[in-house]
């Protein structure tokens, strides 16, 4: 099953994490797929904050692990990394360390807490093995991958990924860097890379059509525009409710969220179509 890495070349703000959250949640709601999101950032609650009140969840998760006799192994990625290193991992056991958003549809593996550089390195070195294991159980595995190419584990995950979603801005410099990236880095083959503009501003002269033309693409580039209600929901732990409320079958074209939902739909469909093409050998 495909691994989809969301990644940015530079460390500027590209709305990478929220773009991944939008696509993964939409896919789980609208398609019959079992989806996992893997967070590779440390001490960063962005994804968790999209879905939960973390004070309450932290207490409940601790109780759950205690009753399972696994509290000493840790939780989330930290606990699973220890299991992977011991050689006792299996695809099904990953679920003991995930947090469920939609039952049998969408889960997230996060909680990357590290108190030392040694622990950070240990966890980073485990991500590729965790992905290989998860890939045997879930239909889609989405990775919120740390930005840049400085770290070896980032390069390893990019090589492992079936699809790389390169998150861009509407800055000309970013577009030029993306063109250079495709030309010089063998990990970024054109048949596995999807450029996506985050926090898209439709009033910019760098429109989806103009950007596509500048990059030598046909049609329009994929984008996830800024949407007030979506970003408010992300700050309030209500993303799961947002995408249930604004399902394609329920939303009206006159709704102010319709354009955003259509953009997320188009990006999701693009990923699914590219995966199908790869599986057929195109």
215-262 pLDDT, tens digit each? 999 989 999 999 999 999 999 999 999 999 999 988 998 999 999 999
Mean pLDDT of the chain: 87
- Name the one residue in this structure whose structure tokens are 């992300």: 234
Average pLDDT, integer, range 143-165: 95
pLDDT band of 114, cuts 50, 70, 90: confident
Token readout for 258 is: 């319709």
Which residues 6+ apart lie within 8 Å of 179 measured at CB? 215
Q: β-pairing, 106-109 with 99-102?
A: antiparallel
Q: What is the pTM of this model?
A: 0.89
Contact 36, 44 (CB under 8 A): no
Specify whether the CB–CB gap between 185 and 212 falls below 8 A.
Answer: no
What's the CATH number for 3-279? 3.40.50.300
pLDDT tier at 55 (50, 70, 90 boundaries)? low
Torsion of CA 19, 23, 29, 30, to 10 degrees: 140
């Amino acid at each position: 099953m495909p691994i989809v890495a969301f990644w940015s070349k530079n460390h500027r703000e590209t709305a990478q994490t929220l773009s991944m959250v939008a696509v993964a949640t939409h896919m789980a709601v609208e398609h019959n797929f079992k989806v996992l999101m893997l967070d590779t950032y440390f001490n960063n609650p962005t994804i968790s904050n999209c879905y939960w009140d973390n004070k309450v969840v932290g207490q409940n998760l601790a109780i759950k692990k205690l009753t399972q006799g696994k509290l000493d192994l840790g939780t989330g990625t930290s606990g699973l990394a220890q299991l992977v290193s011991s050689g006792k991992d299996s695809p099904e056991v990953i679920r003991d360390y995930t947090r469920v958003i939609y039952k049998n549809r969408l889960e997230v593996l996060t909680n990357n807490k590290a108190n030392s550089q040694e622990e950070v390195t240990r966890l980073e070195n485990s991500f590729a093995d965790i992905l290989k294991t998860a890939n045997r159980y879930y239909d889609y595995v989405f990775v919120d991958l740390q930005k840049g190419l400085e770290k070896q584990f980032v390069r390893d995950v990019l090589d492992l990924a079936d699809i790389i979603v390169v998150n861009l801005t509407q800055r000309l410099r970013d577009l030029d860097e993306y063109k250079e990236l495709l030309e010089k880095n063998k990990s970024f083959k054109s048949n596995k890379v999807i450029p996506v503009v985050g926090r898209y501003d439709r009033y910019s002269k760098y429109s989806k059509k103009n950007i596509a033309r500048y990059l030598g693409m046909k049609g329009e580039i994929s984008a996830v525009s800024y949407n007030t209600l979506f970003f408010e929901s992300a700050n309030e732990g209500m993303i799961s409710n947002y995408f249930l409320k604004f399902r394609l079958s329920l939303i009206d074209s006159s709704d102010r969220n319709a354009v955003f939902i259509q953009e997320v739909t188009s990006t999701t469909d693009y990923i699914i179509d590219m995966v199908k093409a790869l599986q057929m050998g195109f």
